[in-house]
Structure 1
Amino acid sequence: MAYEAGFWLRALVGVTLAAGLHAQPCPTALRVAFLDKALPPMLHGEGPRFPDPPGEFVRWTREALTRVNCPAELVRVPQRRLISDTAVDVNQITLFLAHTPERAQQLAFPLREDGQLDTRLALGESQLALYVREDRRHQVAWDGRRLSPEGMKVGIVGGGVEEPLARAAGWTLDLALSHAGSITKLRRGQVDVAVLPTMSFNPQSLAEPPALVALQPMFAPVYFFAPVSPALQQRHPEWVRRFWRALCEVARGDRSVPSCH
């Protein structure tokens, strides 16, 4: 009996030590930032407060934090601060940002072992498309490289994933504060074309008069993530990976296999 008791005691100690070696403590003073503009149904309300219900982005985040058993403060900030505040570790995580090479110089995105972007951990994916009013479709030509006639005004979101690509194309740009603002300008005829993620629309919203159509081919693929501050990535790399995986699994739901790994 004494031998058996000693055996199980040693086994218990071994399991406890092993668990301790794999324990990943929660980062302290963890802040997660969201845009202060509405993106229904993913994010509801305007300004610094979260309404009830707050939207899918917040639900995903809360569930992922529960899965990794860590608390965090959730905040809402203007578009211009989403990246800059996280880059300097004022906020440690930002929801929901598309990856661009420029953003990857300031924030930490999921990477594979070879250093390439790990799209398996993307929370969503979309395409950037050039949208026009259906009643003006015949006035615009797009072959995937050249947009004509020259001199058309192209609407984009300032600081959005589309801005560096649109600037590189050499177009005459009109900057909006949000995708909703860019869509409004397009419908009013204040811009001739708007560059927007396809996930900004559903069939019903596209059909609302004046109806909008996407030009083919698509402009560029877009992958969305929850990038973190470089400081958090350096301090807690294993925890960050675990959080990204949990968030991805919540966001993708039944589609998480074989993704998110």
Structure 2
Amino acid sequence: MDIAAVSRAWLAALLLCGLLALTAWGVGVRQAGAAEAGFGQGSNPGAATTLRLVYEVTANPPRHLGAGTRIDWARPGLTLELLRLVGARLDIDFQFQRVPWKRGLFLVEQGLADGIFHTSHLPEREALLAYPRRADGTLDESRAIFVQSYLLYVRKGSPLRWDGTAFENLDGPVGAISSYSVVQDLRRMGVPVEEERSLTINLRKLLEGRIAASAELEGMGDAAIAAHPAFAGAIEKLQPPLRSKPYYLTFGRAFRDAEPELAERVWDAIAAEKAGPAFAALAESYESDGE
């Protein structure tokens, strides 16, 4: 037998074993890191691959329910239901941690989380986050999780008006949650913005007359107002929406560069499951429950 051929075969075998060991080590490190970083019960325990995702502590019915860090897996919200279907399809255990939005971006930037949702597109986020794209490089909205709208919330009787293009009788700053995309949208329109860490703070400032309006995601704004009688009696929302946008599961750039095929498979599965009968049935059940 050709000694050189045998040597090449042994070298190939050793390289293969090394690659397999490295892959197993990477999965183990990711799983251990998820536990150490505070990621809780996953969507598909025991799956071959673990991905760590972060999302907001504020409820956004029906996409994610409940406030704070707890996840009620009996009824977590439609986005988590969707990702549970994706995980079952791809043999992935998505592990979740609920944190304030700005902290979630920080965790992704530091490699302590693999991805974050729900993310709208901003050019400023391109350096940190990877979005699903078509072959020509444009954003692939078909692989977004869903579309949602920002609305302006004002005190009842406010003279402020928004016609979809311009403001009328805007007599003060607009409140918004720090690092949300609407902050940059408003500033590009020349509107003064006051950033706060939470929606509740914005609505309290609105009631106190410290801001002229609060720009909030409709599902989150409506849920917060419904949960606080003082808000419900004194705050209303203006139509039309300030902005309507597709919202994505985005991966950190470093993760996307290291696992491009995995990221694409997840985005493809989101589109497939979103259009499938199982998710349609879940969406109907959430709608019938009134959220």
Q: TM-score when scaled to structure 2? A: 0.67
Tell me how far apart the structure 2 counterparts of residues 133 and 251 of structure 1 sit (CA, whole Å): 37
Structure 1 residues 180 and 223, CA gap change in structure 2 (3 angstroms): farther
After superposition, what is the alpha-carbon deviation per residue over 1:214-233, rounded to whole angstroms, capped at 9, x for unaligned? 144x3323111110011221
Structure 1 residues 254 and 209, CA gap change in structure 2 (3 angstroms): farther
After superposition, what is the alpha-carbon deviation per residue over 1:188-243, rounded to whole angstroms, capped at 9, x for unaligned? 54422121233435699499322413144x33231111100112212222221111
Structure 1 residues 124 and 180, CA gap change in structure 2 (3 angstroms): farther
Kept after mapping to 1: 8 A contact 2:172/2:192: yes
Q: Which residue of 2 aligns with 1:214?
A: 238
Q: Which residue of 2 aligns with 1:177?
A: 197
Aligned pairs, number: 229
Where does 1:47-196 land on structure 2 (aligned, <5 Å)? Answer: 47=69, 49-53=70-74, 55-56=76-77, 57-136=79-158, 139-196=159-216
- 2:76 aligned with 1:31: no
Tell me how far apart the structure 1 counterparts of residues 196 and 86 of structure 2 sit (CA, whole Å): 32
Q: Which runs of 4+ in 1 moved over 6 A?
A: none
2:55 alignment partner, SS class:
strand
After superposition, what is the alpha-carbon deviation per residue over 1:17-41, rounded to whole angstroms, capped at 9, x for unaligned? xxxxxxxx89722312222344344
Tell me how far apart the structure 1 counterparts of residues 149 and 72 of structure 2 sit (CA, whole Å): 29
For 1:239, give the aligned amino acid. Answer: L
Kept after mapping to 2: 8 A contact 1:128/1:197: yes
Tell me how far apart the structure 1 counterparts of residues 164 and 60 of structure 2 sit (CA, whole Å): 28
Structure 1 residues 252 and 44, CA gap change in structure 2 (3 angstroms): farther
Tell me how far apart the structure 1 counterparts of residues 275 and 157 of structure 2 sit (CA, whole Å): 37
After superposition, what is the alpha-carbon deviation per residue over 1:87-144, rounded to whole angstroms, capped at 9, x for unaligned? 34221121222222222231001011111111011111123233323422xx124344
CA RMSD of aligned residues (A): 3.2
Q: Which residue of 1 aligns with 2:66?
A: 44
Kept after mapping to 2: 8 A contact 1:43/1:58: no
Q: TM-score when scaled to structure 1? A: 0.73
Q: Which residue of 1 aligns with 2:248?
A: 225
Tell me how far apart the structure 2 counterparts of residues 144 and 34 of structure 1 sit (CA, whole Å): 29
Higher relative contact order (CA 8 A, sep 6+): 1
After superposition, what is the alpha-carbon deviation per residue over 1:144-189, rounded to whole angstroms, capped at 9, x for unaligned? 4442435412111111110111122232322232334434443454
Structure 1 residues 175 and 159, CA gap change in structure 2 (3 angstroms): same
Q: Cα offset for 1:78?
A: 2.8
Kept after mapping to 1: 8 A contact 2:55/2:99: yes
Tell me how far apart the structure 1 counterparts of residues 272 and 199 of structure 2 sit (CA, whole Å): 27
